[in-house]
A and B are shown apart, each in its own frame.
Chain A
């Protein structure tokens, strides 16, 4: 595990290795949060249309990504 000082230094550097890894990790984090939030919204009875509007994508996109899984949740 890196120390706080190491991390601060990494953040301050313009090293593409650090920056690109951070972008990739953010993308994964976003995907994971989307799963949690979509599951929660479906459980609360939100429509695919409403979920898609908040995510800024089409209803088809969100349904294709999550429909199969959350279909089981009712």
Chain B
């Protein structure tokens, strides 16, 4: 995995799929996360100007809802784990506090403080300067962010899907199918939180081409 391979004649991904990967990188940077995870890819995908993204949005997977779930699960974990009902009982609305703090300090500051509050629950690989530039990840603008293991799982699955379809490259649709088949990381709980099933989404995305959405045997 880490060994350098021959550069293929055709890039692995289409320009559109690559743009989503770069969008994921941008979201990770914006939120101050030290890695690119499946949740960032899902966020970029949900906000993309593409029919696959529209299919996801129609089923409730909008960028706003994905980010809301991310905040609930980790990034803005500054308030996510508080006992909301107990605080409501003494007149404190945690959502109002969070909204006010986000407005004042910005999502990055909340995300940073959230990591300080939960030093052991950062949901991605730790930043390790010794591995700068090593391993799978994205390097842009002088910053290298590693891919977390769910992104690697999604990519493996997308490669298998691409081969099964005998496509030349991984497009947005195959990227989405790969991402929707991950079992690790934050994508499954985000989809649960929104109230949609990954399997239904896969079927809807693949159904655009009259397929079942069943993952190919890797």
Contacts and interface: CB of A to CB of B under 8 A. Distances in A.
Interface of A: 2, 7, 10-11, 18-19, 21-22, 24-26, 28-29, 31-33, 35-36, 39-40, 69
Interface string B89-126: 11110100100010001000110110011000000000
A22 B109 contact: no
How many interface residues does chain B have, given as a range? 20 to 34
Given A2-B88, A32-B113, 11 more contacts: A7-B89, A21-B86, A22-B86, A29-B94, A29-B97, A32-B79, A32-B117, A33-B101, A35-B116, A36-B78, A36-B113
The majority secondary structure among interface residues of chain A is helix
Contacts of A21: 83, 85-86, 89
A15 to B, nearest CB: 9
Interface of B: 78-79, 81-83, 85-92, 94, 97, 101, 105, 109-110, 112-113, 116-117
Contact of B78 (A10, A32, A40): A32
5 contacts: A22-B87, A22-B90, A25-B82, A28-B81, A29-B94
Closest 10 CB pairs of A and B: A21-B86, A25-B83, A22-B86, A35-B113, A25-B86, A11-B89, A10-B89, A22-B90, A7-B88, A36-B113
Contacts, number: 67
Contacts of B88: 2, 7, 10-11
Contact of A36 (B81, B87, B91, B110): B110
Contacts of A40: 105, 109
A69 to B, nearest CB: 5
